[in-house]
Amino acid sequence: MTASRDVQRELEQFIYREAALLDGREFEAWLELFADDAIYWIPNWDANGDPNEDGVIVYEDRTGLRARVARLLHPLNPTQVPLPRTRHFITNVMPAGGDNGHVTVSSNQVVYVSQAGRQHQFAGACQHVLTAGQDGWLIRRKQVSLLANDAPLTQIPVL
Amino acid sequence: MALAAVSPYRELVQEDQVHRRLYTDPDIFEEEMRCIFGRTWVFVGHESEVANPGDFKTDHLAGQPIIMTRHTDGKVRLFYNACRHRGSTVCQLPYGNASHLSCIYHGWTYRTNGELSGVPLREGFGSDFDPADYGLIPLPRVESYRGFIFASLSRDGISLREHLGRAAHYLDVMIDRAPGQEIHARKPLKYEYDGNWKLQLENYSCNYHPSVLHLSALEVGVKMMAEKFGGSVFKLPTKKGEYPLIERSFGHGHGMANYMGTRGFLWRDAFDDPDYIAALGPRYGDRARDVAETDIHVMIYPNLLLHTRLNHYRVIKPVAVDHTIMNTYPCTMKGAPDLVNDTIVRYTSHHVSAGGEIQVDDLKAFACVQEGLRSEGLDWVLFKLHGDNEHVNDDGELESNGVSEIAQRGFYREWLRLMEA
């Protein structure tokens, strides 16, 4: 699918805005980008590993994401001391198809995280399935396929 | 070392405290690789990882590359992953299936039973060159207990069964929770941390930390459970004796702890599944529900950790004195309903993965301990916590009730025994 310049720009802006909310630790606002039936998925072992066969690094429905956000903001979460700083770098944004008010967008991303004097980076391919909501796009499904999905990982931030 | 008289380790390991150097001294780490990981029985894999003829898996043992294969005769074998010609690894894939393994460098080719079957320019090696002398080198000793495969890099020593002792019972507990009495190891979830390998072992047997270190996860998890299922479905024990904890330590450093935390993290508890419990009925009768709900941690010294509720095992892989890799294998159960097996895989992931909600807290604690132990002003790491009613039970296990550090004390008795052997 070749998107018009306006649609391409709109989708890019949406994905950049999502990343900015994460990097700004505005997790509750980030949660609002997700549709009620949303799935957020980081496969284990293979870029499209079967969640029930190969396990998952993350697989959350909206309730799970809500719990995750609540924990990120919990004052006694040991992993958030000192607060990690993240920065998302997103490239190669390509609308990959769509129908019935849905659009699929693929992109590449690198997320740098710095905490307690150490820096780690997580590179991967993203796929967003977006659905038209009342006030713009909503994320129905976000899949982040890490390059290093079969390697030992340190704690990953929200990608 | 200065204390050469009897053993340099005797002064570093006391009954209820160990010296910080056990976690920070690179020389001690090298000796551990030689005396512990290079000598005793070490878990190397599960038969289901190489289920079919030609299947292989590569891994490391005591820092050395190994390969596990299943040959066409159905037998599982373990070799050093090193070509007999110039030493290159003969296989670089984590898992796979092949009839032969060919070295990428000069093409020496091996069958999955280790036999050297092909040598380019073979005549150039002379008429007395016999390929039978140059098969892949098998690990010195390999034995299996009901699919759990262990290796020892020492030619001599006690049998695996003798090493496991009472730990074999707990492997049975895990395997026999499967209605079909077989488990299937899935692909591993991997994480690493900046800390000594023993920190993970100690942590796994520790009922002291969850309500502190994991407080945020527990609070959020309990709230979400209440929201999903209504009412209060899990209450954190806050008083002594409120939860019937049992912790045990037994021969060769192994230990066991039943666990208080798991249910708090589960937003659906699939082990209540009536079909699963019914499938256990023929063997266990009235005990089927209890078996389904078995929730224990088992530590098989030095590197295998079992979890019988989220049904996985974890393998400790020491890399350096201050660096460790952990591989966690969710284990689905033969004959269990899909819902139960899916829950095993998904909730093990949720619990243990690098993007999960529980183990990441522990990784943080390991890194903090490793950093803190750089302090020369601090000599001793304490294991002085005792539960109630410490006694030797009918199975010969040292047992206590309530939160204790009984299992950790057992690890260090074994550590000292192996390091002095």
**Mean local confidence (pLDDT), B300-328:** 96
pLDDT of residue B264: 47
pLDDT of residue B237: 56
Lowest mean pLDDT among A2-6, A40-44, B54-58, B91-95: A2-6
Q: Which residue of A has its CA nearest to B348?
A: A55
Minimum-distance CB partner of B361 among A59, A66, A79? A79
pLDDT of residue B260: 56
What interface predicted TM-score (ipTM) does this complex get?
Answer: 0.95
Reported as type and span, the H/E element at residue A6 is helix A5-23
How close does chain B come to A9, measured CA to CA in Å? 31
Interface test with A, best of B49, B59, B186 (most A CBs within 10 A): B186
Query: When comparing pLDDT for B2 and B8, which is higher?
Result: B8
Task: Spell out which residues of chain A touch residue B219, defining contact as CB-CB under 8 Å.
Answer: 74
pLDDT of residue B222: 78
Query: B64-70 and B55-61: which strand pairing?
Result: antiparallel
Q: Which whole-number Å values give the CA distances from B309 to A73, B265, B313, B351, in the listed order?
A: 29, 12, 11, 12
Cβ within 8 Å of residue B383, ≥6 positions away: B16, B17, B18, B405, B408, B409, B412
Interface test with B, best of A53, A80, A113, A159 (most B CBs within 10 A): A53
Q: What distance in Å separates the CA atoms of residue B332 and residue B341, rounded to the nearest whole number?
A: 5
Contact status, residue B255 vs residue B298, Cβ threshold 8 Å: yes
How close does chain B come to A67, measured CA to CA in Å? 6
Cβ within 8 Å of residue B392, ≥6 positions away: B398, B399
Contact status, residue A55 vs residue B345, Cβ threshold 8 Å: yes
Q: What distance in Å separates the CA atoms of residue B351 and residue B332, rounded to the nearest whole number?
A: 16
- pLDDT beyond 60 at B4: no
Task: Spell out which residues of chain B touch residue A57, defining contact as CB-CB under 8 Å.
Answer: 189, 349, 353-356
Q: Which residues of B20-119 form beta strands (DSSP E)?
A: 42-46, 55-61, 64-70, 76-80, 95-97, 100-102, 109-111, 116-118
Token pair recorded at residue B212:
């502190």
- pLDDT beyond 90 at B70: yes
Contact status, residue B222 vs residue A87, Cβ threshold 8 Å: no
Query: A34-43 and A136-146: which strand pairing?
Result: parallel
Query: When comparing pLDDT for B347 and A94, which is higher?
Result: A94
Task: Spell out which residues of chain A touch residue B192, defining contact as CB-CB under 8 Å.
Answer: 152-154
| CA nearest to B330, candidates A57, A154, A53 | A53
**Local structure of residue B94 (DSSP, 8 states):** S
pLDDT of residue B225: 73
- pLDDT beyond 60 at B1: no
Answer left, alpha or beta for residue B235, where phi above 0 means left and psi between -120 and 50 means alpha: beta
Task: Say whether B211 sits in a helix, a strand or coil.
Answer: helix
pLDDT of residue B229: 66
CB contact under 8 A, B94 and A49: no
Type of residue numbered B348: T
Q: Which residues of B251-387 form beta strands (DSSP E)?
A: 254-258, 296-300, 304-307, 312-320, 323-333, 380-382
- pLDDT beyond 90 at B21: yes
Query: When comparing pLDDT for B105 and B421, which is higher?
Result: B105
- Predicted confidence band at B272 (pLDDT cuts at 50, 70, 90)? confident
- pLDDT beyond 50 at B249: yes
pLDDT of residue B336: 95
- Looking at mean pLDDT, say which of B22-36, B245-259, B261-275, B283-297 comes out highest: B22-36
The residues facing B78 across adjacent strands are B68
Q: Measured over all CA atoms, what is the biggest interatomic distance in chain B, rounded to whole angstroms?
A: 81
What are the residues of chain A with a beta carbon less than 8 Å away from any beta carbon of chain B?
42, 44-46, 49, 51-59, 63-64, 66-68, 70-71, 74-79, 150-156
Peptide bond into B302 cis (omega under 30): yes
**Mean local confidence (pLDDT), B128-134:** 97
**Local structure of residue B221 (DSSP, 8 states):** H
Contact status, residue A113 vs residue A85, Cβ threshold 8 Å: yes
Q: Which residue of A has its CA nearest to B357?
A: A68
The residues facing A91 across adjacent strands are A108
- pLDDT beyond 80 at B86: yes
- pLDDT beyond 50 at B126: yes
| CA nearest to A142, candidates A121, A154, A125, A155 | A125
Report the percent of chain B where pLDDT is more than 70: 93
- pLDDT beyond 90 at B235: no
**Local structure of residue A33 (DSSP, 8 states):** T
- Predicted confidence band at B76 (pLDDT cuts at 50, 70, 90)? very high
**Local structure of residue A109 (DSSP, 8 states):** E
The strand order across the sheet containing A34-43 reads A56-61, A34-43, A136-146, A118-133, A102-115, A85-99
Reported as type and span, the H/E element at residue B368 is helix B359-372
Interface test with B, best of A40, A48, A56, A156 (most B CBs within 10 A): A56
| CA nearest to A84, candidates A121, A119, A114 | A114
Nearest-10 crossing angle of helices B359-372, B197-204? 130
Query: When comparing pLDDT for B271 and B348, which is higher?
Result: B348
Listed in sequence order, the DSSP H helices in B177-258 are 197-204, 210-213, 215-229
| CA nearest to B405, candidates B375, B373, B420, B383 | B383
Token pair recorded at residue B72:
């066409």
CB contact under 8 A, B354 and A156: yes
Compute mean pLDDT per 10 residues along chain A, 159 residues long, and list them: 82 97 98 97 95 93 93 96 97 90 96 95 98 93 97 95
pLDDT of residue B219: 87
Q: What are residue A111's phi and psi, to 5 degrees? A: -115, 125
Query: When comparing pLDDT for B240 and B154, which is higher?
Result: B154
**Mean local confidence (pLDDT), B344-369:** 93
Q: Report CA B291 to chain centroid distance, whole Å.
A: 22
**Local structure of residue B72 (DSSP, 8 states):** T
| CA nearest to B188, candidates B379, B59, B69, B294 | B59
Q: What are residue A124's phi and psi, to 5 degrees? A: -175, 180
pTM of the predicted structure, to 2 decimals = 0.94
**Mean local confidence (pLDDT), B65-93:** 98
Q: What distance in Å separates the CA atoms of residue B314 and residue B46, rounded to the nearest whole number?
A: 12
How close does chain A come to B60, measured CA to CA in Å? 14
Contact status, residue A122 vs residue A111, Cβ threshold 8 Å: yes
Helices (H) and strands (E) in chain A, counts: 4, 6
Report the percent of chain B where pLDDT is more than 90: 79
Asked if the C-beta of B348 comes within 8 angstroms of chain A's C-beta atoms, the answer is yes
